Amino acid sequence: MLRAHAPEHEVIVINDGSSDGTAAVLERLQARFGDSLRVVTHPANRGYGGALRSGFEAARKEFVFYTDGDGQYDVGELPKLLEQMTPEVGLVNGYKLERNDPWHRVFIGNVYNRFARTIFRIRIRDVDCDFRLIRRRLLEEIRLTSTSGTICVELVRKLELGRMRVVEVGVHHYPRLHGSSQFFRVRSLLTTLYQLSRLYVRLVLAPAFTGKDRRLA
């Protein structure tokens, strides 16, 4: 599928301090796919935001697409995003047509999404949809600091403040078949709330008083 739409491409996998057999599996895949698969390994877990930042820093192509590895999104829908990446567009952001999660995760996710969009004045409808296509040069122009899931808020906020358009595309969301979400644990939620508070001070309050470029805060 990638070869049909992007003859020159690379796949970057972030092994964020996994202690299971992930490293061995990735080693076998590298032997099979060669230079088209690159693995970035963290000796210790750096969190969701830390993993994303490593992936962004490692990317070498003109466009960067990222999604989670839990199978809840279909990478086969990437062409829908590519079709919308016209010269004036900097971010094509997916949004879940329907969220296929247990009711409590749907509820918490909706509250989080509405809260984040309101306080950060974000225009896109789904901050929490990790199915995005971004121009790499825009990632080089902003400074990301979040280590938790708040990096999605920080990323979208700073890209929306930029000079290029943001486009949204509906994508399907599927039930989780493997693993468990780290976001909905009490400790993770508290960390996210703390980092959201700090992010709000940096991206909204401080620039309002100092006039500093909010994309770089």
Distance from CA of residue 10 to its chain's centroid?
17
Q: Which residues contact 209 (CB under 8 A, 6 or more apart)?
A: none
Q: How many residues does the chain have?
A: 217
Q: What is the pLDDT of residues 69-99, one digit of tens each?
A: 888 999 999 999 999 999 999 999 999 999 9
Q: What is the pTM of this model?
A: 0.88
| Residue-level pLDDT at 186 | 61
Helix (H, G, I), strand (E, B), or coil: what is residue 63? strand
Cα dist. 72→40, 99, 180 in Å? Answer: 22, 10, 12
Contact assessment for residue 175 and residue 74, using Cβ atoms and an 8 Å cutoff? no
Helices 151-160 and 186-200 sit at what angle, rounded to 10 degrees? 30
Q: What is the pLDDT of residues 147-157, one digit of tens each?
A: 888 999 999 99
DSSP state of 214: T
Confidence category of residue 108, pLDDT binned at 50, 70, 90? confident
Assess whether pLDDT exceeds 90 at residue 210.
Answer: no
% of the chain surpassing 90 pLDDT: 62
Assess whether pLDDT exceeds 80 at residue 5.
Answer: no
**Backbone angles phi and psi of 124, in degrees to 5:** -65, 155
Q: Which residue has the higher pLDDT, 214 or 185?
A: 214
Distance from CA of residue 73 to its chain's centroid?
12
